[in-house]
Amino acid sequence: MSEPLSPQLKTTIAGLWTGNLFAPFLVSGVAAMLPAIGASLEGSAVALSLVMVCYNLGQGLSHMLSGRICGMLGVKRVLLAGVALFCLFGVLLAMARSMAFAIALRFAQGLAAASISCCVTSLSVTLAPPERRGQIISTVVTAVYLGLAVGPLVCGGLTELIGWRSVFFAVAFFGAVDLWLLRRVIPSQPPSAPDRPFNLPNAALAVVSLSLITFGATCHFLHPAVIWMLPAGFSLLAVFVRQELRSGNPIMELRVLAKVRGLPGGMAATFINYGAIMGLSVFFSLYLQQVLGLNAFAAGCVMMTQSFMQMVLSPVAGRLADRFDAVRVSLFGMAGCGASILALTLLDAHSPVWQVVLQQACLGTGIAFFVAPNVSATLGNVPQEYMPMASGLLGCLRTLGGLMSHILMAGMIGFFMGRASIDAGNAETFLEAMRYTLILFGSLNLLALFFGIRRSRRLS
């Protein structure tokens, strides 16, 4: 029987949990506040979309670079700096007077948010006793699901009652309280490589490649030629990986991480499985509102079912990962995701709402049993000095998987519907596009399951 957690570790987990809450809370919350922000700052539809795109770009870049920065400065310092900057950018956002300034600040806030995520994941793995690792990781992860679930409701409510600026002030206040707590409870984390210089050429390659991929994947609506940023971005990303493998002073230590037992398979499963599930929320939103005719609030309540199930069941998945094999628990979660994706193909223009709620619950269950056990199994064997880099790489692959998911989704909708609008008159065409995309996502999930089974056999 495992020993109870010390009061110090419990307080540390509480601080990490709170730090993991702010970014997802604002991700979903800002989406709900966009109309109010646009009206206040006179922002166009394109400018409002860039608020989300630039935030995602900031996150992706920070995931790639945060691990190396942690090696130079120490995980604790980077975490505290990330929380402090997240709060500062929030205060500045609350005082923004132009859309250009708001977009730049959301990009900067994305950089800070990903550095927090990287450090929280790293500390959750390294500070947890091995026999309680899955439980602690899953507990910290529940903050993400809670933030995503309540963000639209809380931010929407505050926007209606006080105004959208109040949301950023409130988050900055609570972030400052968490910063004080983390500074007191996180043990000292000396840098693992303080004297190694930062590889600027490789960092520049990473920044340019990910920028091209992000804008090519999400901004093709600005001009069709933007789509050509994608192949250019992926080509430069391949050059970046090649340089990393050859460099004596790499950003992400890919050569070392590739030799860690179970890490490559876990990373591949993460990238592919996120590629299969991240685009589903867009399909659900369109399906519920444009096909079934629900209003935005009702659709949001239905979609909250997934986050609610993830929040409730993640601790259960974490305990099972500690008691049994974390890889096998994550395989169960991947299989659940695949079954849920394929079950979604049964939806049509006359499906009852309870069927959608049930399938959202099944999908949330699969994701809950995949995420925390997969993190535990993937990062469990990483040496402590390389943990921030491995955490950053895992976060980067989640981001790239999500981009791939949205690229596939947008491509399939464009192929089947062209420039036609998604409304009741084109419901059958949209449903056909959705079904074929779901089959594609289900196939990706089977590929992720293959990598997971292969990893399980190698570790057994």
Let me know: does 421 contact 239? Beta carbons within 8 Å.
no
pLDDT at 381: 79
Let me know: does 331 contact 456? Beta carbons within 8 Å.
yes
pLDDT at 87: 92
Q: Are residues 212 and 339 in the same domain?
A: no
Structure tokens given for 246 = 């050859």
**Cα(321)–Cα(83) distance, rounded to whole angstroms?**
30
Q: Are residues 399 and 446 in the same domain?
A: yes
One DSSP character per residue, 322-356 reads HHS-HHHHHHHHHHHHHHHHHHGGG--TT--HHHH
One DSSP character per residue, 385-421 reads GGHHHHHHHHHHHHHHHHHHHHHHHHHHHHHHHTT--
Q: Are residues 423 and 450 in the same domain?
A: yes
Let me know: does 380 contact 326? Beta carbons within 8 Å.
yes
What is the chain's mean pLDDT, rounded?
A: 82
* pLDDT tens track for 54-83: 888 888 888 888 888 888 888 889 999 999
**Cα(367)–Cα(5) distance, rounded to whole angstroms?**
27
Q: Are residues 82 and 204 in the same domain?
A: no
pLDDT at 137: 84
Let me know: does 46 contact 34? Beta carbons within 8 Å.
no
pLDDT at 1: 45
Any domain includes 60: yes
pLDDT at 88: 94
Indicate if the pLDDT at residue 199 is higher than 70.
yes
Q: Which residues of 284-306 are buried (b: 16+ CB within 10 A; e: fewer)?
A: bbbbbbbbbebeeeebbbbbbbb
In a 13 Å sphere around the CA of 350, the CA atoms on its Cβ side amount to 0
- Poorest-confidence range of 116-120, 153-157, 366-370? 153-157
Indicate if the pLDDT at residue 192 is higher than 80.
no
Any domain includes 278: yes
* pLDDT tens track for 282-298: 777 778 777 888 776 67
Would you tell me how many other CB atoms lie within 10 Å of the CB of residue 185? 17
Q: From 250, 267, 288, give the residue that closes a domain.
A: 250
Any domain includes 192: no
* pLDDT tens track for 322-359: 888 888 888 888 888 888 888 888 888 888 888 888 98
Check residue 217 and give left, alpha or beta (phi > 0: left; psi -120 to 50: alpha). alpha
Q: Are residues 290 and 383 in the same domain?
A: yes
Question: Helix 99-127 crosses helix 75-94 at what angle (to 10 degrees)?
Answer: 150
Indicate if the pLDDT at residue 458 is higher than 70.
no
Domain that holds residue 76: 7-186
Any domain includes 49: yes
* pLDDT tens track for 306-323: 888 888 888 888 888 888
Dihedral (CA of 193, 195, 200, 201) sign? negative
**Cα(244)–Cα(430) distance, rounded to whole angstroms?**
42
* pLDDT tens track for 405-420: 777 777 777 777 666 6
| All residues at 6 or more sequence positions from 415 whose CB lies less than 8 Å from its CB, including other chains | 433
Q: Are residues 120 and 214 in the same domain?
A: no
Confidence of residue 169 (pLDDT cuts 50, 70, 90): very high
Would you tell me how many other CB atoms lie within 10 Å of the CB of residue 95? 11
The total domain count for the chain is 3
DSSP 291: I
Higher pLDDT, 437 or 284: 437
**Cα(378)–Cα(264) distance, rounded to whole angstroms?**
8
Indicate if the pLDDT at residue 18 is higher than 70.
yes
Q: Are residues 362 and 404 in the same domain?
A: yes
Higher pLDDT, 451 or 423: 451
pLDDT at 143: 86
Q: Are residues 237 and 318 in the same domain?
A: no
Let me know: does 119 contact 81? Beta carbons within 8 Å.
no
Any domain includes 268: yes
Any domain includes 191: no
Question: Helix 387-417 crosses helix 353-379 at what angle (to 10 degrees)?
Answer: 150
Higher pLDDT, 106 or 1: 106
CATH number for the domain harbouring residue 350: 1.20.1250.20
Let me know: does 252 contact 244? Beta carbons within 8 Å.
yes
Q: Are residues 129 and 225 in the same domain?
A: no
Any domain includes 2: no
Q: Are residues 236 and 92 in the same domain?
A: no
Any domain includes 371: yes
% of the chain at pLDDT higher than 90: 7
pLDDT at 105: 92
Would you tell me how many other CB atoms lie within 10 Å of the CB of residue 364? 27
Pick the most confident of 130-144, 165-179, 184-198, 431-445. Answer: 165-179
**Cα(273)–Cα(445) distance, rounded to whole angstroms?**
5
**Cα(303)–Cα(309) distance, rounded to whole angstroms?**
11
Confidence of residue 84 (pLDDT cuts 50, 70, 90): very high
Let me know: does 132 contact 55? Beta carbons within 8 Å.
no
Higher pLDDT, 262 or 12: 12
Q: Are residues 237 and 345 in the same domain?
A: no
**Nearest 5°: CA angle at 275, between 271 and 281?**
135
Q: Are residues 213 and 265 in the same domain?
A: no
